[in-house]
Structure formats: C-alpha cells, structure tokens
Structure 1
Amino acid sequence: MTANRPLILLTNDDGIHAEGIRYLTIAMEHVGEYWVVAPEAEQSAVGHSITLYDPIKAHEISKNGSFYGYGISGTPADSVKLAIHSLLPRVPDLVISGINNGANVGINVLYSGTVSAATEAAILGVPAMAVSLAQKKNPPFQWVVPHVERLALWLLKFGLPPGVALNVNIPAIPPEALRGYKLTRQRLAKMRESFEEREDPRGNRYYWLSGEVPIEESDDSLDATALNDGFVSITPLFYDLTAHSHLQDLATALKNLT
C-alpha cells in the first residue's frame, strides 16, 4: 500500500461478484488504494442487520489469478465492521457502497443494504457514500464511473460532518446528458404494496411482495424527483432517528399519562 494515497473501502449488498462493485474498482484506480470487502452472497434489502449468533467468515477472493478482496458470510454492515476493525491495515479514508442496480430513494433507504453499509461507516467515524444507478435491467454501470470518481475526490478533499453519510442516486443517462448534481432530501411518501398469493404443488399458500408503486409528490427538492429530472441526487443521511420536531408536543401529552 502506498503511504501517501488515500485508503478506500469498497462494499455493497449485491455480493462481491456483482458487476456494480467491479465498476467501483475501476472508478477508484486513479483515486487511491482500494480494498474490496463485501458479502459473498446477495444481501439486498437486509437493512442495517448485523450478525450476532454466528461466526462471520472471510474468504479471500481471486480474479484473473490476483487477489480481489474478501467475501464475507455476513451482511453489508458486517462487512464494514469487520473490514475496519480487523481486515484493513488502517482505518480507511473513505467508504463507498455500491454500485447498486436500481435506485435507493424514499422509504427504500430504510431497507437498503447498500445504504446501511455507508451509514455503518458513518457510525464508525468514516466518511461514506452509497451509490445507486436508477436502472435494474442491464444497468449501464460505465456511465456511473466518472461521477463516482468525481464525488470520491470531492469527499476526500472536503469530508463530511460526523455521523453523516451520502446517499447518491445516479440517473441511467450518459454523463454528457446529465443536468448536474443536486442536494436533496429523502421522500417520505408511502408505497402502495400488495402481496400476490400463490400455491405450491402440495397445496400450501405462499406470498410474493409485489406491486410497489410510489405515491407521487411534486417537489424538486426530493431525491426521486431530482433523479427523474436528470440530476444526480445527493441526500445527506444521519443515523439519529429521533423525531426532534415532535419532542415538545409528546412531552406535553406525556403529562397526561396516568
């Protein structure tokens, strides 16, 4: 490892063999020294879960005859914890999680393993960003590379406030068509959800979650709106879930508790 180059941890929730994280390594080639530590298997939508009652295994992964990184038997948050506390030679200067195929905006942020890896890094005191591309089928990851490189250099220069991570969503359009970068807030609209009921050959019922359609909001400060308008959406996240604006009202109501 070159002493004067920043150390960058790359992780994800799609697994160490996913194309998205391979494109992260391409984006980091001219930024710093990178280490890949990610789940061995897909861990999408696991949120911020961590492994408590089983050992976490770390397997060395090679590609084209060379060391590529560590595949972890746990979750995205486990990957960040283990990397920072045990695997990396020192605390990284930056953590990047992704590139997720499909946007992570609105309520999805709460379920996302991609985002949780970044917020875990923030909890541990390391600047971090989660990166998602707004296309699930045949995602053009190559279009994301220049944006990730630019944002990584910016983060390494300016840093982030303690405990804050960035949730970055990039539209699936060529870099030259991009309208710019926009600081956004998380959309809080609920999702319309349904469960499709099916029956297995033995007559047992089972269900698939389906039909997620967001309830639209018209506000260009929202993550989903900015993304749909052709901007890179950058939302600062903080792990304090306290509803501060309601503390006083609830304190007053609590006086009536008998």
Structure 2
Amino acid sequence: MGDGDPVILVSNDDGVRSEGIEALAGALKDLGTVYVVAPDRERSAASHSLSLTHPLRVEKVSPRVYSVDGTPTDCVNLGVNGILRGKKIDLLVSGINKGANLGDDITYSGTVSAAMEGTLLGIPSIAVSLVTRTRFRFDTAAEMALDVARKVLKRGLPDDTLLNVNVPNAAREEIKGVRVTRMGKRVYGDMIVEKVDPRGKKYYWIGGDHLNCEDVPGSDLEAIEEGYISVTPIHLDLTNYTALRALRKWTW
C-alpha cells in the first residue's frame, strides 16, 4: 500500500494475540495501512472504562502492532492521541470478538466500547463479533468486516454513529444474507454463581453465558437467530427524547 492509502486502526478486547484480531488485521490490509493497538491480555466486558489512576505501558510487538496494558478504550485513545499522533486515521475496526455482542450486551462490551471511543474521537468506527464460543470461523467474519469497512470508507457514517456487526459462525454461503437491525433486548436472569473454596469461604462468578431474549421484530437477536448477519447502527446520543418532552412539562 502507498502513502495515500487509508490508515486503519484495529483494536479489540480479547488481546493483541487473539486469532480474531489477526484475521481482522490481515483482511483489512487489502484496504490500506493497518495499525493494531490492543490490550496485552483479555479485557472482555471492560465496557467503556478508561484508566486514570495508573500509567499505561506500551510494547511494540511487531511492525505496526502495539500491546497496551490497559482497556480497549485506553488502546484506542492512546493509539489516536499517542502512538499515531499526527496521522489521520480514516477508519477504526474493533474485533473480531470471540462471542456475540447483541442487544444489551453492548453496554458491557469492550469490543463495542473501542468503536465508541473511535466515534467520540471523530473516526468512522465498526465493531465486529462472531456469534459462537467454540470452533471459530474467523474467515467468514473477516470477509464481512472487509466488506463493511470498504462501504464505510466509501460512504462514511452519520455523526456520532458506529456500526455493530454480528456474524453467525458459518461459511459465508451458509449465511442467508445481511439485515440492518435495531438493538434487541436480553433477559439476563440469574447471573451470579456461588461456590465454596477448599477453605470453606464463599466466592462468586458473574456468569451470563445462558441468556434469553425478548421477541423484538427487526432486532439483531432475531436476525442472528434466523441465520443472518446483523448490522446495527448505534448512536452515542443516549437521550430519551420522548421522556425529554414529558419532563419539560413537569413543574420544576
């Protein structure tokens, strides 16, 4: 790629050595110059946390690949404002996550939060997740990520909006197609698992692997359940405008 090609920043929450980020970065090299800035270890469910109470350390793993001892949000912020300072970053892609980020999952997701940070910094951003916990088909998700990235580089995205992409774990020819969707609704239920250690003291795991969902027509959860790739535009303005209008009628 030449000097005039797009600059693409890649991050994730599974760690810099994850097979998912390697597949993603490899696919995106067809579009431009790819830089990877990712956590030094798994940071799943880190949400949009930013490290403010301790310094961050960076290790150059290989050419244009950097490891950070921080959260996905740290990685994007440090990548844009530190490691790649002075470069115009044309696109940020986060993933490929080992597992779905559907419905309310996005409020916990480090993968989606990396894309949120990119969006806050004015960079068109995409989060990509593979809907499985075993036998990952990263090739399919990487192919889809490349397709979406190409479209975003050409068309751009609305202000304060990122794309959350979830891909079924199947060969591309086995997937029925792509649906543009809305956020679904998870039903988390009992997420706490209580155990006792060998010394008789209780400890707890926060679970959540066995989730249900509400029946929301046109949702990302429905699309995946029916064998489609879901592409959901996520807006960073969290204001409830219906409630805003109602609250303005109150007496203050």
Cα contact 1:97–1:114 (8 A) shared by 2 = yes
Whole-Å separation in 1 of the counterparts to 2:111 and 2:87 = 22
Further displaced range: 135-144 or 48-57: 135-144
Q: Does 1:11 align with 2:11?
A: yes
1:59 aligns with 2:59: yes
Q: CA–CA distance in 2 between the matches of 1:170 and 1:158?
A: 22
* TM-superposed deviation, 1:243: 1.5
Distance in 2 between the 1:189 and 1:102 partners? 15
Contact 2:93 2:126 in 1 (8 A): yes
Cα shift at 1:214 = 3.5
- Cα displacement (A) at 1:141: 0.6
Residue 79 of structure 2 is matched in structure 1 by: 83
The number of equivalent residue pairs is: 251
How many angstroms does 1:146 deviate by?
A: 1.6
Partner of residue 127 from structure 1, selected from 118, 124, 128: 124
Aligned to 2:103, which of 80, 103, 106?
106
Residue 244 of structure 1 pairs with residue 241 of structure 2: yes
Q: Contact conserved, 1:226 with 1:232, CA < 8 A, in 2?
A: yes
Instruction: Choose 229-238 or 15-24, whichever is displaced more.
Output: 229-238
Matching residue's letter, 1:181: V
Residues 54 and 211 of structure 1, relative CA distance in 2, 3 Å threshold: closer
**Residue of structure 2 in register with 1:195 after alignment:** 192
SS at 1:193 equivalent:
coil
1:125-151 Cα deviation digits (max 9, x unpaired): 000000000011121111222211111
Matching of residues 43-192 of structure 1 within 5 Å:
43-62=43-62, 67=63, 69-88=65-84, 89-192=86-189
Q: Is the 8 A contact 2:96 2:142 kept in 1?
A: no
Q: Answer yes or no: is the 8 Å Cα contact 2:187–2:214 preserved in 1.
A: no
CA distance in 1, matches of 2:246, 2:185: 21
Supply the RMSD in Å over aligned alpha carbons. 1.6
> 1:211 deviation in Å?
5.2
Residue 157 of structure 1 deviates from its aligned partner by: 0.1
**Inter-partner Cα distance in structure 1 for 2:191 and 2:113:** 25
| 3-state DSSP of counterpart to 1:235 | strand
Tell me, in whole angstroms, the C-alpha distance in 2 between the residues paired with 1:91 and 1:51. 24
Distance in structure 1 (CA, Å) of the matches to 2:74 and 2:96: 18
Taking a change above 3 Å as real, the CA distance of residues 195 and 230 of structure 1, as seen in their structure-2 partners, is: same
Q: TM-score, normalised by structure 2?
A: 0.94
* Percent of aligned positions that are identical: 39
